[in-house]
Chain A
Amino acid sequence: MWKAKTKNGKEVSELNTKWEDTKDNISELLLITKNNQIINLPKNMDSYIQFKSAMAELGINKGVQIESRVIGFVIKGTKILIRVNEKNNNINVEVI
């Protein structure tokens, strides 16, 4: 679950806020993983990113799986993503 602090100091999370409504007004962002690790991103970056990756088998009821949760930020045009594997909590850093 992601949690954020907005530029006016309000604390929000994905339990009570739509990302699209708050993503341009964030000064701090963190991710709480399934095994309760907390990943804090640097404060006051140019912008912040959050999404999940999932898969769904086509045409059959095998359901949908969340593969990973991602938070990240942009600084000077470089995108830094922290991806947490949903199954094993492994963490990967992607620089784009």
Chain B
Amino acid sequence: MPLTNEIKSLAIVKTLFYKKIQGRFVAMEQADCSDSGDTINTPFADAFNFGGLAPSETSPTIIISFNVPNVQAITNIRLGLISAGGINFDDDIFGITTSPEIRSDIKPSKYFQGINVTRSATSNYNVSIANLDNYNSEYVYINIRLPEDNFLGEGVVRYVWFFDYV
């Protein structure tokens, strides 16, 4: 279905996640949207996954960023936790830290304070993410520190980006 001109600017919206390969961080593109349903491509979907976690286990830190290349600028970027994947929510489980730098030694030091169950852009539980430039967010470090009495299945924790753009 052809898109109108004003929607076309969101033809490419990406979550980039980063893997360290041979000592260097490499961005893996993961398209969240495309202007053609036939070309949506998530070759690394499985890689953005905390995996299954046992009680009291802390997941590896995942480094991601947000990229919208075909607009003039994105602003007011926020990340919301919309599903805790069945974990009994507490305010010291879903870690998050942002930084303009990408480094192995940065670990999440803050936590989501609630679940944005209504997917509201104005939820106080959303975490603000600064811009790296007009098209990219800063790097976001997320992890999960599982409580003693919970297991976590794969791929059940969900996040949403909120943003403004021109």
A residues less than 8 Å from B27 (CB atoms): none
A residues less than 8 Å from B166 (CB atoms): 19-20, 50-52
B162 touches A55 (CB 8 A): yes
B165 touches A60 (CB 8 A): no
Q: Bound complex: CA of A18 vs CA of B9, how far in Å? A: 11
Is residue A66 contacting chain B, with contact meaning CB distance below 8 A? yes
B72 touches A63 (CB 8 A): no
Is residue B19 contacting chain A, with contact meaning CB distance below 8 A? no
CB contact list, A32-89 vs B, under 8 A: 50-64, 66-68, 70
A60 touches B164 (CB 8 A): no
CB contact list, B6-56 vs A, under 8 A: 6-7, 10, 13, 15, 30-33, 40, 42, 45, 48-49
Is residue A91 contacting chain B, with contact meaning CB distance below 8 A? no
Residues of A in contact (CB 8 Å), total 25
Say whether, besides A19-B72, A51-B75, A63 and B33 are in contact (CB < 8 Å).
yes
A55 touches B6 (CB 8 A): no
Nearest B residue to A69 via CB reads B6
Is residue A93 contacting chain B, with contact meaning CB distance below 8 A? no
Residues of A whose CB lies within 8 Å of any CB of B are 1, 14-15, 18-20, 50-64, 66-68, 70
- 6 residue pairs, one from A and one from B, having the closest CB atoms: A64-B33, A58-B159, A59-B48, A56-B32, A51-B164, A19-B166
